[in-house]
């Protein structure tokens, strides 16, 4: 019983139809959560006693950073599935993730930099956190560069999938190295917003934004996925029907 | 309203951050839809070619 | 009589070394590159040894990294070109071992000589004599890891035209932890402190690399040969 569900996910026409149907179920709640979260974060939440209104950057910075990491993990997982089970659909998912992840890594870096200027006094620090996020951006760019360098879709899929999986090994290494690198270089006064310490009025908008962005990623992924599936289905008969809708 | 825009003096950091993030959100939507449209057009073209040369 | 994987690997290692030493010019290029790049910094920044000592570790490591990357392009190129690589893949021998042999050859020809040359460059940058082991050992380990990681990138970009820059773009993000800890080790040595901690981490990376990287690289070669 459970197997049928999994096997159907390997079928491109089934996934295509599913993606088409599911997109509004992700898109509209995402929009609602983001709009509500923006209002709650910008208007309702009280100013921070230390950072004043400057802390409100968190409502765009944290979701961006979250996106940059979550999307990479999704991409690498899909890549692994595609490599192991040779599923075209999985490779299509991985391909759909990369541009989204890369652009939100840029967003995380820039918003983080703008937040750092008034709080730390500088637009950039070779803080391990910032550096590892920058490396993440390079990983995304390398992935996209490799994809575009190989003409044949199947080979591009498998080569970039291997790269994504190898890159994931790097991520915990980088985050772990934060401890050692920190001991040699003085750590800047990193602002830590430990979740339990945050008052509800500030925390709630953050959670809404995080949830909203996650659903938004789902919607984007489903839209891109349809295109990537079409690209990998040369002349299958189901496409004819799919294109007339 | 002015106080809101002023953001306690942090306006020049807060508003560009929001503007950039929202721009990237919108850009991704446009990008994704365009990518799908292009894929559909390519698929359509391929089908036409296949029909013309069976 | 069939050859064991280890025997095959030894044969490939010997072959690669022999072939490379016939083209001595190509072997010397990365070393010359390293020498030139390390000379650029005193010219560009300041001839004051005190100032150079501050940045010596970084200069040595970045130059060694880039020089190793230069030589990576040629790791599979010739063999892929004349079909030897395909023969390796079809031979029924463990491709992982064969790639490990090729990667070792690459390191013996590039990384190890760099590790030996680096103290000379270091001394010219004002590094004290006592720091020399802190240069040789970390760079030897670091370039080994780089050869191993680079082999994956080289395998993925087989057949891509003008793959040099792409190879660098793919390998450097994966090599950054090596750079971070390696440069830290050398810097500690230059300051006269013990560099055991980052050295252990480098060794751990080397162990991880030796065991896992050839596997990934052989998977990458099979993907590229499809």
Q: What percent of chain A is predicted at pLDDT more than 70? A: 87
Contact C172 A173 (CB under 8 A): no
pLDDT band for position A173 (cuts 50, 70, 90): low
Mean pLDDT, rounded, for C201-213: 93
Residue A31 contacts B, CB cutoff 8 Å: no
Contact C160 A154 (CB under 8 A): no
Calpha distance A48→A37 (Å, rounded): 17
Report whether pLDDT(A5) > 80: no
The first and second tokens of residue A141, run together, are 């760019």
Report whether pLDDT(A88) > 60: yes
- Within 8 A of A169 by CB-CB distance, chain C residues are 212
Residue A134 contacts B, CB cutoff 8 Å: no
Residues in chain A: 245
Closest chain A C-alpha to C150 CA, distance in angstroms? 12
Report whether pLDDT(C70) > 60: yes
The DSSP element (H or E) to which A6 belongs, if any, is: helix A2-9
Residue, of C157 and A5, whose pLDDT is higher: C157
pLDDT computed for residue A186 by the predictor = 34
Structural domain of C172:
5-225
- Within 8 A of B4 by CB-CB distance, chain A residues are 42-43
Residue C28 contacts A, CB cutoff 8 Å: no
Calpha distance C35→C66 (Å, rounded): 12
Mean pLDDT, rounded, for A165-189: 59
Chain B residue whose CA is closest to A96: B32
Cβ(C97)–Cβ(C8) under 8 Å?
A: yes
pLDDT band for position C164 (cuts 50, 70, 90): confident
pLDDT computed for residue A184 by the predictor = 38
ipTM computed for the complex? 0.88
**Does A touch B (3+ CB pairs < 8 Å)?**
yes
pLDDT band for position C226 (cuts 50, 70, 90): confident
How many domains does one find in chain C? 1
Task: Convert the pLDDT of each residue in C89-129 to its tens digit.
Answer: 888 888 899 999 999 999 999 999 999 999 999 999 999 99
pLDDT computed for residue A183 by the predictor = 40
Mean pLDDT, rounded, for A145-161: 93
Using an 8 Å CB-CB cutoff, list residues of chain A that contact chain C.
135, 138-139, 141-142, 145-146, 149-150, 154-155, 158-159, 162-163, 166-167, 169-170, 173-174, 177, 180-181, 184
Q: How far is CA B46 from the centre of its chain?
A: 27
pLDDT band for position C5 (cuts 50, 70, 90): confident
pLDDT computed for residue A182 by the predictor = 56
Torsion over CA: A218, A221, A226, A229 (sign) = negative
Calpha distance A31→A161 (Å, rounded): 31
Calpha distance C183→C173 (Å, rounded): 16
Burial class (CB in 10 A: 0-12, 13-18, 19+), A88: buried
Cβ(A143)–Cβ(A95) under 8 Å?
A: no
Residue B16 contacts A, CB cutoff 8 Å: yes
Q: pTM for this structure?
A: 0.88
Residue A26 contacts B, CB cutoff 8 Å: no
**Does B touch C (3+ CB pairs < 8 Å)?**
no
Interface test with C, best of A76, A135, A145, A149 (most C CBs within 10 A): A149
Closest chain C C-alpha to A158 CA, distance in angstroms? 7
Mean pLDDT, rounded, for A173-183: 57
pLDDT computed for residue A193 by the predictor = 46
Contact A227 B39 (CB under 8 A): yes
pLDDT computed for residue A233 by the predictor = 86
Identify any residues that bridge with A52 across adjacent strands, giving them in sequence order: A48
Report whether pLDDT(A17) > 70: yes
Interface test with A, best of C145, C148, C178, C180 (most A CBs within 10 A): C180
pLDDT band for position A132 (cuts 50, 70, 90): confident
- Provide CB contacts within 8 A for C124, sequence distance 6+: C38, C42
Residue A147 contacts B, CB cutoff 8 Å: no
- Within 8 A of A150 by CB-CB distance, chain C residues are 160
pLDDT computed for residue A225 by the predictor = 96
Region of poorest pLDDT, from A217-221, C52-56, C85-89: C85-89
- Within 8 A of A245 by CB-CB distance, chain B residues are none
pLDDT computed for residue A195 by the predictor = 43
pLDDT computed for residue A181 by the predictor = 58
Per-residue pLDDT of chain B (54 residues; tens, 9 = 90+): 777 777 777 888 888 999 999 999 999 999 999 999 999 998 888 888 878 887
Round the average pLDDT of chain C to a whole number and report it.
Answer: 90
């Amino acid at each position: 019983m459970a197997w049928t569900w999994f096997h159907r996910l390997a079928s491109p026409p089934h996934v295509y139809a599913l993606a088409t149907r599911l997109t509004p179920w992700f898109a509209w709640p995402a929009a609602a959560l983001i709009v509500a979260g923006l209002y709650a974060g910008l208007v309702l939440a009280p100013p921070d006693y230390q950072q004043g209104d400057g802390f409100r950057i968190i409502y765009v910075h944290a979701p961006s950073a979250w996106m940059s990491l979550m999307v990479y993990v999704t991409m690498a997982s899909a890549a692994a599935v595609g490599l192991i089970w040779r599923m075209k659909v999985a490779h299509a998912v991985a391909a759909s993730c990369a541009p989204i992840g890369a652009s939100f890594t840029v967003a995380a870096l820039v918003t983080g930099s703008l937040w750092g200027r008034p709080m730390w006094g500088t637009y950039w620090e070779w803080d391990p956190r910032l550096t590892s996020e920058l490396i993440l951006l390079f990983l995304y760019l390398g992935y996209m560069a490799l994809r575009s360098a190989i003409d044949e879709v199947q080979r591009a899929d498998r080569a970039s999938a291997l790269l994504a999986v190898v890159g994931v090994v790097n991520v915990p290494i980088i985050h772990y190295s934060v401890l050692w690198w920190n001991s040699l270089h003085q750590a800047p006064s990193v602002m830590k917003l430990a979740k339990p310490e945050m008052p509800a009025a500030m925390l709630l908008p953050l959670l809404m934004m995080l949830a909203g962005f996650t659903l938004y990623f789902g919607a984007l992924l489903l839209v891109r996925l349809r295109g990537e599936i079409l690209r990998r289905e040369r002349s299958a008969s189901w496409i004819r029907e799919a294109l007339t809708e | 309203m002015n106080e809101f825009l002023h953001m306690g003096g942090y306006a020049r950091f807060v508003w560009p951050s929001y503007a950039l993030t929202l721009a990237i959100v919108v850009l991704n939507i446009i990008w994704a839809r365009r990518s799908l449209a292009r894929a559909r057009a390519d698929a359509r073209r391929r089908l036409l070619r296949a029909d013309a040369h069976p | 009589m069939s050859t064991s994987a280890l025997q095959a690997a030894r044969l490939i290692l010997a072959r690669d070394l022999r072939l490379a030493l016939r083209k001595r010019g190509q072997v010397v290029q990365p070393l010359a590159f390293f020498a030139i790049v390390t000379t650029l910094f005193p010219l560009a920044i300041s001839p004051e040894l005190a100032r150079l000592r501050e940045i010596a570790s970084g200069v040595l490591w970045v130059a060694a990294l880039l020089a190793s990357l230069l030589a990576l392009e040629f790791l599979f190129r010739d063999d892929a070109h004349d079909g030897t690589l395909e023969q390796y893949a079809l031979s029924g021998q463990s491709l992982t071992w064969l790639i490990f042999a090729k990667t070792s050859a690459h390191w013996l020809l590039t990384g190890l000589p760099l590790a030996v040359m680096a103290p000379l460059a270091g001394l010219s940058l004002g590094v004290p004599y006592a720091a020399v082991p802190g240069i040789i050992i970390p760079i030897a380990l670091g370039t080994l890891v780089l050869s191993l990681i680079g082999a994956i990138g080289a395998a993925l970009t087989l057949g891509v035209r003008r793959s040099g820059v792409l190879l660098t773009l793919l390998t450097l993000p994966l090599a950054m932890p090596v750079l971070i800890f390696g440069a830290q080790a050398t810097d500690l040595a230059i300051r006269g402190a013990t560099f055991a901690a980052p050295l252990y981490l480098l060794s751990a990376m080397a162990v991880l690399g030796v065991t896992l990287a050839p596997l990934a690289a052989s998977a990458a070669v099979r993907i590229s040969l499809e």
